[in-house]
Amino acid sequence: MTKQTVFVINSGSSSLKYQLIEPVSGEVLAKGIAERIGTDKGEITHEANGEKHHDALPLPTHKEAFTRIVEMFKENGPDLDSANVVGCGHRVVQGGWYFRGSAVINQDTHAKIVELCDLAPLHNPAHLIGIDTAMELWPDLPHVAAFDTAFFHDLPTETQTYALEKETAAKYHIRRYGAHGTSHEYVSGLVCDHLGRDDVKQITLHLGNGASACAELGRKAIDTSMGLTPLEGLVMGTRTGDIDPAVVFHLLRKGMNVDELDTLFNKKSGMLGLCGDNDMRDVWQRCQAGDPDALHALQVYLQRLLKYVGAYTAELGGLDVLTFTAGIGENDPGIRAKLCEKLAFMGVKLDPERNENRDRAAEVWQISAPDSQVMVLVIPTNEEVAIARQVLSLI
Ligand code: ADP
């Protein structure tokens, strides 16, 4: 029998990313992205069989993008009709108080994702466009929503609760929902598989343009740095992370409005706001040239990371494994080395050679020295494969 495959979709407001995945092996048979949807200057890049195919065309809506993507599969392979696609997985940022795992999309699930737009106004509406378009195109296929928050649905009550007056919190569903859950669940699960233990005291650091830390006891999250939205926590590419909420009151009183503040905190702050660059490779280049803003931004970034690792080690009552993942976590030996240097007090010791020369083919790559008291790992995250596997287990 032909192997089963899953079509995974990550729909943004003006983009649509997709992968055709064989979930058991994790093999990616094709992937691509449609960009600038909503304009007459749309672009699609489709990768299959080691080749990249581009097309430029007007893409007024997600529907035209989808239709063209399916045509590109016909023209360049693999043939979707014979690919034995058994389901379609949709990434959804906010699953709110409803979802503790992924869910088959039916009328009820759909209505809940719509209701949760209130909590994720930038993300859930864009995901819904992708969901609706794909369901219209493939009505006979099961469609599954995989939520970024699901891994954190059952956080211990003391870590999910803000010390906000409880009636207001209840009325507006204000709690810590977390984000990047698919990634933290996947990576921490691999750590448990790797060690053959389910009681590992571990911290996973998802350091990309967005960044979050998660403390896990075995396969269960006990705390995470993102909150009601992905704004809380670590210093990110363009987001503030933790900041005194009174800064908001102060700036409101100074005349800024809510939308301006939203943009300031989410898009103009973080590394970009501190030094003018949000790509860590550019920040490092400037640091090497002695640029004071870049050096300062790096210090602030590392300080926040250190604080979370320290806090989570205390919450876990010790630390067995620290894992780096995502764009910076996987590719930036400098950040890993600097953080681990600061963690020497708790017996963290890197193997510099392994830190500098990661084997990119390795699913799990140890960078700590054999006599380190904490095992330090690099594990490439793979949210799409994780979603594809969730789809397969549900249908
Ligand atoms: P997201 O999914 O949040 O957009 P990624 O996980 O793809 O982000 O990470 C993107 C970020 O990773 C870039 O903005 C850049 O800062 C960082 N990055 C990628 N490659 C490297 C590298 N070789 N060295 C340092 N940082 C890198």
- The model's pLDDT over 248-301, given as tens digits with 9 standing for 90+, comes to 999 999 999 999 999 999 999 999 999 999 999 999 999 999 999 999 999 999
Between CA 305 and CA 308, with CA 306 as vertex, the angle to 5 degrees is: 65
Residues in contact with ligand 1 by the CB-under-6-Å rule are 208-210, 237, 279-281, 326-328, 331-332
CA-CA-CA-CA torsion sign (320, 101, 172, 239): positive
DSSP 8-state class, residue 37: T
Is the pLDDT reported for residue 1 higher than 70? Answer: no
pLDDT at 70: 95
5-147: CATH architecture:
2-Layer Sandwich (3.30)
What confidence tens digit (pLDDT) does each residue in 141-194 have? 999 999 999 999 999 999 999 999 999 999 999 999 999 999 999 999 999 999
pLDDT at 121: 83
DSSP-based three-state secondary structure for 196? coil
- On whether the CB atoms of residues 228 and 123 are closer than 8 A, the answer is no
| Closest among 42, 81, 84, 79 to 63, alpha carbons compared | 42
Entry field: residues in the chain: 395
Give dist(CA 115, CA 94) in Å, integer: 10
DSSP 8-state class, residue 240: -
- For the chain, the domains span 5-147, 196-383
Please list, in sequence order, all residues whose beta carbon lies within 8 angstroms of the beta carbon of residue 334, skipping any fewer than 6 positions away: 284
**What are 388's two structure tokens?**
């594809």
**What are 44's two structure tokens?**
């699609």
Ligand 1 atom 4 nearest Cα: 209
Percentage, residues of the chain above pLDDT 70: 100
Give dist(CA 181, CA 153) in Å, integer: 10
Domains 5-147 and 196-383 in one fold: yes
- Cα of 332 from ligand 1 centre, angstroms: 9
| Span 320-337, average pLDDT | 98
- Residues within the annotated binding site for substrate? 91
Ligand 1 atom 24 nearest Cα: 332
DSSP per residue, 295-352: HHHHHHHHHHHHHHHHHHHHHHTS-SEEEEEHHHHHH-HHHHHHHHHHTGGGT--B-H
- Catalytic residue numbers? 148
Average pLDDT, the chain: 96
CATH number given to 196-383: 3.30.420.40
**What are 107's two structure tokens?**
């009328």
| Span 34-50, average pLDDT | 95
